[in-house]
Amino acid sequence: MKRKDMDNNRRYFILDENTPFHIKEAYKAVRTNILSVLSICDGPKIAVFTSAEPGDGKTGTCANVSVSFAQMGAKVLLIDADLRKPKINRVFNLKNTSGLSKYLCGQCPLTGENGAIKETNIENLFVMTSGSIPPNPSELLLSKNFDTMLRELADQFDYIFIDSPPVCAVTDAIVISGKTLGSFVVVRHKLTKKDVLRTAVSEIQNGGGRILGVVLNDFKYEKGRYVSDYRYEYRMSYHE
């Protein structure tokens, strides 16, 4: 599928009891690896999910990783820091009248009825939607209010995951990455280009951010290609 078609046909799913076993297991594997990575990093467990270009699947991946962490029993906050094209509110069917942008402008509280942070129907998972699209998203993310907010929230939540815009589109991801432990870059199978990925990673690193890992999304398994036949068949049939 071409990138512009991804944009037009974008839909999201959330891990639930109907999700196939191998998908849940894949997200659990990502969760396990993220736990390992974050455990060796000092500081509040705040990480960014980004990608090189739009359509690579960072929002969906970020949302489902957050769900997976919440299912583990951790208290998780998912922040939609894509102040230009917010999507997290659509993923979780939440109102977006109040959110990050309004909080950073002092126009809404963090919690409460009209607060930026909202509960979801998934236990332990909280979401801070982006709020209304501001005229100055980069400046808001660069502001001290954002840093302060992250510090405060780090005390209240076990993990904070931030969905950011793609690196090659705007600089927001680079800005946010520098304020957190690092970034997880999501790439899409047979869509993301190597040179674009290389550019995105080097831009984050040049901006002072750290790359914690890469998630390969939308991978189409071919028999014997990524995992051995036995492992793939076993995993697929285990839950049947």
Residues that bind other proteins (CB under 8 A): 10-14, 16, 18-20, 22-23, 26-27, 29-30, 33-34, 37, 57, 61, 89-96, 121, 184-185, 187-195, 197-198, 201, 211-222, 225-226
Q: How far apart are the first and last CA of the chain?
A: 30
Q: Which is nearer to other proteins, 126 or 146 (CB)?
A: 126
- In angstroms, what is the minimal distance from the CB of 5 to other proteins? 13
Q: At closest approach, how far in Å is the CB of 144 from other proteins?
A: 29
Q: What single string gives the DSSP state of each residue in 78-96?
A: EEE--SSS--HHHHTT---
The nearest distance, CB 70 to other proteins, in angstroms, is 13
- At 220, is the secondary structure helix, strand, or coil? coil
**Nearest residue (CB) to other proteins, 128 versus 185:** 185
Q: Alpha-carbon distance 148 to 156, whole Å?
A: 13
Q: Tokens at residue 40, please?
A: 């060796």
For residue 10, what are the contacts with CB-CB under 8 A and spacing of at least 6? 55, 87
Q: Pick between residue 169 and residue 216 the one whose CB is nearest to other proteins.
A: 216
The DSSP secondary-structure symbol of 175 reads: H
Pick between residue 158 and residue 203 the one whose CB is nearest to other proteins: 203
Least distance (Å) from other proteins to the CB of residue 200? Answer: 9
The encoded tokens of residue 4 equal: 């512009």
